[in-house]
Amino acid sequence: MMVAARELQVQGELRYDEPMSRHTSWRVGGPAETFFIPASIDDLANFLVELDADTPLFWLGTGTNLLVRDGGIAGVVIAATSMLRHLERHGELGVRAGAGVPCTQLARQCIRWQLGPSEFFAGIPGTVGGALAMNAGAHGGETWEHVTALRTIDRGGNVHDRSPDDYDVGYRSVRGPENEWFLEATLRFDPDVKPSMDAMKTMLERRKRTQPLGLPSCGSVFRNPPGDHSARLIEAAGLKGYRIGGAEVSTKHANFIINRDAATASDIEQLIEHVQTTVREVHGVQLVHEVRMVGEGNS
């Protein structure tokens, strides 16, 4: 049964059959059955309370590191980043950041406040919420190294205060209480480390030189295997520039797959699988993708 049949009362915006290609950095993806943009945390909580318990629910950030299949997403997609943009000091060495704050904004503000090391956040595409969900990192830094407290919301609309001890965190991996989503995090920085705006600008310039930032992609597709780099393995396997449909392994950075020419999600998923198969055959290494794949394929 469609969510619309219940005539849910909201202050935010409800859309139906919303193309997910509008909300992913790859610019692909079929429609979301129901797409909800809450106006506030109370609006979100009330919506969750009213929602049928068996309705599938997907929490959307900025759509980086995400592949939505061409058949779209059944149930409800919640897009709450626009109302989770608060960013404030917390004590002498801390910051409280909403899950919707872009990581680049977090880096810039922490540098202004002289809180470090924080420059690496500028190398993470997407938001604080997405960085929390996968322990994103860049330039030797990782998100959860700085987390001291969290606030989440569960499927029933209840808000929880959590500590890092409630989570099992690894390399690009985070496991915690089921059916909860991040609302904000409190981060703590090192009193002996002063960040540098120049260092951040150098990181961003290097990123601009070495990554295909002007084309639709999800950022790095694969995790780096122990002691090596996925990009090196992919390039050494002769896959730079390899295409399936409109999807292409970037000639600028081999760990990027770009939407070169009206790619479908199926093109991208097939190319991911081809890269994994080829690297395994050539190098004996099984690459693990970072990107999250959701939704249904076309029948």
Closest CA to 247 of 214, 226, 223, 272: 272
Q: 């979301």: which residue's tokens? A: 32
88 is catalytic: no
Radius of gyration of the chain (CA): 20
Known active-site residue 292: no
Residue of 21, 220, 230, 266 with catalytic role: 220
Residues contacting residue 4 through CB under 8 Å, at least 6 positions apart: 14, 16, 34
DSSP assignment of 85-126 equals --EEEETTTEEEEETTSBHHHHHHHHHHTT-BS-GGGGGS-S
Candidates 27, 85, 162, 172; catalytic one: 172
- 182-218: b or e for each residue (b if 16 or more CB lie within 10 Å)? bbbbbbbbeeeeebbeebbeebbeebeeebbeeebbb
Q: Which of 18, 33, 142, 290 is catalytic?
A: 290
Burial of 268 (0-12, 13-18, 19+ CB in 10 A): buried
CA-to-CA distance for 256 and 250, rounded, in angstroms? 6
Strands ordered across the beta sheet of 257-259: 243-244, 247-249, 257-259
172 labelled catalytic: yes
Name the residues annotated as catalytic.
172, 220, 290
